[in-house]
Amino acid sequence: MKKNRIIAIISIILCVSITSFAQVLDQIIVVVGDDMIKQSDVENQQMLMEQQGESSTKCEIFKEMVVQKFLVDQAKIDSVEVSDGEVNNEIDRRVSMISGTKGGLAQLEKFYGKSEVEIRSDWKPVVKEQLLAQKVQNTIVGDVSVSPNDVRLFYQSHLDSMPKIPTRYEYAQIVIQPNLTEEEEKALRKKCEEIRQRAINGESFAKLAVLYSDDTESAKRGGMLGDYISRGELVPEFAAVAFRLKEGEISRVVKTDFGYHVIQMVELKGEKAKLRHILIKPQVTVAEMQTSYQKADSIRRAIGDSLTFEQAAARFSTDTKTNKNGGIYMNPYTGTSKFEEGMIEPTIWYSLKTMKVGDISEPILTFDDKGTQVYKIIKLVSYVPEHTATLLDDYSDVKEMALDEKKETTMNDWLRNKKSQIFMSIKSDEYKECDLDFKN
């Protein structure tokens, strides 16, 4: 089936787009409302996609940029806004994603010929426009739904073009996190308290964050956590202390699952705040990891003998997200328990691909969701090989396809109506033949 390009309208520029890195002959190619798209915008986006191993025609890129301008224009009409905090959080997410790849951040800086700080600054207006467009798009298609009859009719009408469903895995886990000794906990708290006292005594909080914080992303910005953050964006223990602070005030030492924090309130604005923090994370020793392995190994040997995997998960797993549901690990990309190969972390995938349904692995050295080194025991719960989608076996997938098609129809109807209401003038002959009819 054809890729749904309208619903994924921002997809080609969600990763790392920016419009100033290539020196190309520039000209205005279209005016949309009170905004415009330049030749360099299209050229640069196409170059960036090629760098990422993707491809798209200039017409396709042009069309998606025009649609984004339609959505942003509607955002102005409807007074839709995005906060600086939302923009900075999205930039943080993208930089973090790039930093997690081998040499990613260095390659990014080389690609743009700018420092990370400069790139972040350049991204702000681009990301803000993308988020505005996404918000408006969500208001247009967010309430679209399909009935069981809609799904059945969709399946019957697309019977000859049903896509392949890739091989999927479902697994459960028991996580054994190393325990710090009481002495180590005291040492961590003491280190954090010493840094706090230095800040209280007048040393720059931002400088101390750069020097000592184990949160490497915020440390680069002097410990700053975005521009404005709401309570809901923070873990409860952190938020409870942070939002009691007055502007300029420095908190007591706060413990969360991530480690020990010192927080500074920079500015409070209604229900949101500018915050700095310094994080001191536990450093696990070899001896502690060996103890964790021995515990995991003894649990593994007990499963099937004196207790079930599910009982062991409930009793011993340190992962609170899975230890109450038999250890079933939920896919953060889809919200379901099914994983495709590329969605599984390599250390887990290496074991899963050799297992049969019901098999239980030996302890695997890996990381938890907070980046802490842990041991995991894995059980392969289900395995479904690649196959053509059927209504009986893949109802949820077919339903999603039917929903996407209905959303695309709804979006195209809106775009045709919007096109008739907004001023648009294409200045370049090269783009006058591009399809902007938005037909279903």
Question: Which residues lie below 8 Å from residue 139, measured CB to CB, with a gap of 6+?
Answer: 78, 80
313 within 8 A of 327, measured Cβ to Cβ: yes
Q: Which two tokens stand for residue 300?
A: 């593994």
Question: Alpha-carbon distance 311 to 323, whole Å?
Answer: 9
Rg (CA), the chain: 26
- Domain assignment of residue 345, yes or no: yes
DSSP string of 300-365?
HHHBTTTB-HHHHHHHH---TTTTTTTTBPP-TTTSSS-EEGGGS-HHHHHHHTT--TT-BPPPEE
Are 293 and 325 part of one and the same domain? yes
Q: Are strands 28-32 and 259-269 parallel, antiparallel or unpaired?
A: unpaired
CA 432-434-437 angle, to 5 degrees, is 105
Are 276 and 293 part of one and the same domain? no
- What are the average pLDDT values for consecutive 10-residue runs of the chain, which has 440 residues? 44 42 66 93 84 83 95 95 85 71 68 81 90 95 96 96 94 92 88 95 94 90 84 88 94 91 92 91 85 95 92 94 94 87 89 95 88 91 94 93 96 96 93 90
- Domain assignment of residue 5, yes or no: no
CATH number at residue 254: 3.10.50.40
Question: Which residues lie below 8 Å from residue 131, measured CB to CB, with a gap of 6+?
Answer: 82, 86, 87, 90
Are 256 and 335 part of one and the same domain? no
Question: Alpha-carbon distance 172 to 326, whole Å?
Answer: 7
Q: Which two tokens stand for residue 308?
A: 């079930």
C-alpha 171 chain-centroid distance: 22
Per-residue CA distances from 417 to 73, 281, 438 (Å): 13, 54, 10
Site of tokens 């799904």: 151
Using the 3D structure, point to which of 258, 280, 302 is the last residue of a domain: 280
- Domain assignment of residue 158, yes or no: no
Identify the sign of the CA torsion 198, 204, 206, 211: negative
State how many domains the chain has: 3
C-alpha 180 chain-centroid distance: 30
Question: Alpha-carbon distance 46 to 114, whole Å?
Answer: 20
CA 125-127-131 angle, to 5 degrees, is 115
Using the 3D structure, point to which of 253, 280, 307 is the last residue of a domain: 280
Using the 3D structure, point to which of 239, 254, 280 is the last residue of a domain: 280
Are 236 and 294 part of one and the same domain? no
**pLDDT score for 102:** 54
- Domain assignment of residue 152, yes or no: no
Q: Could you give the count of Cα atoms lying within 13 Å of 62 in the half-sphere of its Cβ?
A: 22
Among the listed residues 265, 222, 266, 276, the one whose alpha carbon sits nearest the alpha carbon of residue 243: 265
Are 329 and 411 part of one and the same domain? no
**pLDDT score for 358:** 96
CATH number at residue 83: 1.10.4030.10
Structural domain boundaries, residue 79:
11-147+395-432
Question: Alpha-carbon distance 94 to 273, whole Å?
Answer: 22
- Domain assignment of residue 375, yes or no: yes
CA dihedral of residues 422, 428, 434, 436 (deg, nearest 10): 0
Are 236 and 142 part of one and the same domain? no
**pLDDT score for 10:** 43
47 class by beta-carbon count within 10 Å (0-12 exposed, 13-18 middle, 19+ buried): middle
Length of the chain as a residue count: 440
Are 112 and 242 part of one and the same domain? no
Are 250 and 263 part of one and the same domain? yes
Q: Is the pTM of this model over 0.95?
A: no
- Domain assignment of residue 428, yes or no: yes
Are 306 and 363 part of one and the same domain? yes
**pLDDT score for 368:** 83
**pLDDT score for 385:** 93
| Single-letter code of the amino acid located at 174 | I
- Domain assignment of residue 205, yes or no: yes
**pLDDT score for 19:** 42
Are 189 and 276 part of one and the same domain? yes
Question: Alpha-carbon distance 323 to 159, whole Å?
Answer: 41
Are 289 and 407 part of one and the same domain? no
DSSP string of 107-121?
HHHHHHTS-HHHHHH
Q: Is 155 helix (H, G, I), strand (E, B) or coil?
A: helix
Question: Alpha-carbon distance 124 to 424, whole Å?
Answer: 25
- Domain assignment of residue 154, yes or no: no
Are 292 and 421 part of one and the same domain? no
Neighbours of 111 (CB within 10 A): 15
